[in-house]
Chains A and B, each alone.
Chain A
């Protein structure tokens, strides 16, 4: 039986769904092993960790853990790895997850493999093993060899759906890590809160627009539809490059990766840059004049036609039914 150490990602006390993805992945990949979850700082409710399969929860308590700091979290994780010598250290490959794992790995001078989709059999126990990970944002895969007693990996965000194990609350322990303030210099000093409501990465519906929308103003109907559906507007890189939408609306490899229930891709050709940001969507509806556009052939549903005609008609229809 091996020890698997999983980083709990939370934002000032509320557990992120990505943590549950990591747990779900770990249950599948390391069946029967001990799944220890490390929590840096306080979390409002530890119950989901057990529910999703954690066998033990370790809470690090320290004044400096009241808010996120990549360096501080990295120190705590490194310390825990040092103490526990787990066979595997795991987090979800989110922005924070990858960052904290890299911080810990750098401190320990251990390898870290980001964005893994699959691990080899007996991964935990072999010190020479392999993983399959994503490259090019998901356009390519890499089989990578890894030589390490402790294997630090992140699991590709959205690669697994969080599935409850309906587990009991896991026993938890606390400890006070030693944090060297000298190496905790990257601190959050302030937060700016965007307007309330769903964000691009959490929206249940994303209404996306591409170059074919034609102008900044022409996004108005897309905005209206998104609002009607409680969703957000997203866009392709061509749109941000044209200055029609802010970069924060960009769906793609270097923009936001989305995973809504439905992505409505309007006039988007489906360049690889964009596709890798959208491919985690549960369902995709493509609206395009070109039946052979990449986005259309990759979508679950399509409507062939001009978005400038179709979106207003859909808005009408939605209004009629509500």
Chain B
């Protein structure tokens, strides 16, 4: 064994599937001088990898999970550590049958072969299933079973053989060392202390699975996840399985409605469950390798929790009842507050990276994401924004929050989750000072991470009748939706709406270096006169989108960054990652100093005009300008901008003064048809009619500003992140363009009107073929919703440049049905394409 090192470039903690694949990928990308540590023995150090059921269903509604699942499955295949067993999700309920049509749609989107089967067809593939209890199945032939331990060894050995890695098992990390840097709330990693010695290093990667948060906490950082039990029992032997002479000879069956799976393992069947109560543990409750009867993450089986699962499993496969339970565990895996992984650099500590809350099914792919992220500054394989560990706000990092949310979503592992589904637990973490007013107006709140946002107001129900609107035909399309949203929309276009936008994340950059630094982050020119603003992308080094936001020039040395609630954490991390540490720039998060009220609609100038002496004309308050004025006797900043397509302002009001201003505007708007208006209009209908793009939907790192239609005629002289790639993208021209489609006929084959919910519905040719551009990027719906003023149901999405023409006919798949659609805008607006309403 080699001497224990005192220094290294990178220390990776955790030799499970993720840590092993990470060092393999990093080695391939040219990293040297790496050390991999694990407190357990090799090849199975006792983490979750060691007891994983090791199968991959490549279909997921979520793009990151689906594509990284496929990516991972392919990596296992390339290493010859994978068998395509096939897999079937069976339905016992009509609701599940509908969900399976949704699965078909997602399979189409990601290009995964899939078939809907009748019960008899399921039985042909799985002769021991009781086809009386099922209504059908969703069959995916490329479901695979992998050897995650062996794969880990191959990846790890690749790095050691290349001379880039030293591995130390049975080595426990006792502390993660940091030093102060001149960035508020942030330190920098300098090393790790282990029971075998201290290693000074530049980078530390936490790939410790269920232990990750404990390790991160050593550096006062957070990887918000909680160890949770997934029960599994191995029952057998069964002759019919043994006769296959194979680790797996029959397709895996997921009994979705009972939250169970049955997966052959040689002569036995592994019955796994996500149907029991959420059983969560603190990392300190996990025994050491020495103390554990099996492995640390194979905790004692709590039989009572599993009993109901056994009953339903026997219903599905009678022979399970007489087979012996040879091995049963409460296997631990990682759950996060939002059910997505924790990848990337942690925001609290420079060069401390997280590769955690990753399951075997996506391990190699997610490891590649982190390796590329460390190498190129942002991953190339996919945009992982939904997995970015910096997405969490502080309120989301507490054990209370992690446990409550994990408790709530564990049962959804096999559940039917609506794309707009809201959380029940841990609500009201962040609310506007307008809450009393919005409550009184019957606001129905959705969350934007921790922030509560009124999505519509029940007190506007009268408008539904006025505009002749109604509920949607199917429960699914109607779920998490109200016709009031469309009514508020139409009223805004006719009169005016006031929108509580307090969830906006507001960050100030001040100091002599503030403007130059802001310039460095932004594609568009920020160094403009005080009182102006810049809407701009922030790109990564490869020229893909990291953010899109507005930057207000409030002073010679003062830039205010305003971004959406979903991206506040990521954007703050990005700023702190790049901000100069010489003291020339000061960062301050001002989010909770201001309430933002949006006031838009043809009557907006008249309403606001009653409350101020300021010049609100297009000359006095031109589009994009920021003015400090008095409204109803309160000092506010008004910012003339619109995300809904009608003229008006975002009004920034000191927190405590906001209720008074809200009331004054409401009073002034009484005779102008002003209504409180929810985010349903702001975030979907309004912007969709205008073709305005949203970070995380239309804007992802895989696309560039040219393709998103956000390239300006000229490129500024100043340097900025991603400039070189951006220039190249301009040179090359777009391979795809963001388009707006109108659905021509919303009736499905049963004659029901259907309303496509976003969630990556595939856009197909009129022949029903998937559409991919010259880079292989698939066309899917990025946003969908009613265009009440346009009069049609609208979808946004990218189309290859040759199809991106107004009038192109395509189809959109939804619930496994095809709906004809026509391109109505390419990078522009379907509604009011000339922006005359904005100029009013």
Contact = CB atoms under 8 A, between A and B. Distances in A.
Contacts of B42: 290
Contacts of B1: 291
Nearest to B168: A292
Interface string B176-196: 000000000000000000000
B303 interface: no
A293 interface: yes
B205 to A, nearest CB: 22
B170 interface: yes
A292 B170 CA distance: 7
A293 B41 CA distance: 8
B2 to A, nearest CB: 12
Contacts of A291: 1
Contacts of B170: 292
8 contacts: A290-B41, A290-B42, A290-B169, A291-B1, A292-B41, A292-B169, A292-B170, A293-B41
A290 B41 CA distance: 8
Nearest to A294: B290
Interface string A275-315: 00000000000000011110000000000000000000000
Contacts of A292: 41, 169-170
Interface in B164-178: 169-170
Interface string B639-667: 00000000000000000000000000000
A292 B46 CA distance: 14
Contacts, number: 8
A292 B42 CA distance: 9
Nearest to A297: B170
A269 to B, nearest CB: 8
B1 to A, nearest CB: 6
Nearest to A292: B170
Given A290-B169, A292-B170, A293-B41, 5 more contacts: A290-B41, A290-B42, A291-B1, A292-B41, A292-B169
B194 to A, nearest CB: 14
Interface of A: 290-293
Range for the number of chain B residues in contact with chain A: under 10
Nearest to A291: B1
A291 B171 CA distance: 12
Contacts of A290: 41-42, 169
A291 B2 CA distance: 12
B121 to A, nearest CB: 39
A291 B170 CA distance: 10
Nearest to A290: B41
Interface string B1-22: 1000000000000000000000
A292 B44 CA distance: 13
A291 B41 CA distance: 9
A293 B45 CA distance: 12
A291 B168 CA distance: 11
Interface in B42-66: 42
A315 B647 CA distance: 92
A33 B23 CA distance: 69
User: Which 6 A-B pairs give the minimum distances between C-beta atoms?
Assistant: A292-B170, A290-B41, A292-B41, A292-B169, A291-B1, A293-B41
A290 B170 CA distance: 10
B41 to A, nearest CB: 5
A290 B169 CA distance: 9
Nearest to B290: A294
A78 to B, nearest CB: 41
Contacts of A293: 41
B293 to A, nearest CB: 9
Nearest to B42: A290
A170 B41 CA distance: 56
A197 to B, nearest CB: 36
A293 B170 CA distance: 9
Nearest to A272: B290
A309 to B, nearest CB: 18
Which residue, A290, A291, A292, A293, has most C-beta atoms of chain B within 10 A?
Answer: A292
Nearest to A304: B1
A139 to B, nearest CB: 11
A291 B1 CA distance: 9
B197 to A, nearest CB: 15
A271 to B, nearest CB: 9
Nearest to A271: B293
B290 to A, nearest CB: 8
A290 B42 CA distance: 8
A290 B43 CA distance: 9
A290 B1 CA distance: 11
B33 to A, nearest CB: 23
A236 to B, nearest CB: 15
A129 B163 CA distance: 63
A72 to B, nearest CB: 41
Contacts of B169: 290, 292
B684 to A, nearest CB: 57
A5 to B, nearest CB: 41
B819 to A, nearest CB: 58
A16 to B, nearest CB: 35
A254 B170 CA distance: 29
A302 to B, nearest CB: 12
B87 to A, nearest CB: 30
A300 to B, nearest CB: 19
B826 to A, nearest CB: 62
A225 to B, nearest CB: 26
A292 B168 CA distance: 10
B265 to A, nearest CB: 16
A240 to B, nearest CB: 15
Nearest to A293: B41
A293 B169 CA distance: 11
Contacts of B41: 290, 292-293
B758 to A, nearest CB: 51
A290 B38 CA distance: 14
A290 B289 CA distance: 15
A185 to B, nearest CB: 38
A80 to B, nearest CB: 44
A180 to B, nearest CB: 46
B630 to A, nearest CB: 73
A145 B274 CA distance: 49
A64 B41 CA distance: 57
A223 B169 CA distance: 32
A292 B41 CA distance: 7
A95 B478 CA distance: 75
B697 to A, nearest CB: 49
Nearest to B170: A292
A310 B281 CA distance: 43
A290 B167 CA distance: 13
Nearest to A269: B41
Interface in B22-42: 41-42
B413 to A, nearest CB: 32
B204 to A, nearest CB: 22
B10 to A, nearest CB: 23
Nearest to B1: A291
Interface string B141-173: 000000000000000000000000000011000
B202 to A, nearest CB: 27
B744 to A, nearest CB: 65
A292 B169 CA distance: 8
B169 to A, nearest CB: 6
A137 to B, nearest CB: 15
B440 to A, nearest CB: 66
Nearest to B169: A292
Interface string B667-701: 00000000000000000000000000000000000
A196 B169 CA distance: 45
A46 B416 CA distance: 82
A291 B169 CA distance: 9
A136 to B, nearest CB: 13
A292 B38 CA distance: 12
B126 to A, nearest CB: 29
Interface in B242-285: none
A238 to B, nearest CB: 12
A168 to B, nearest CB: 50
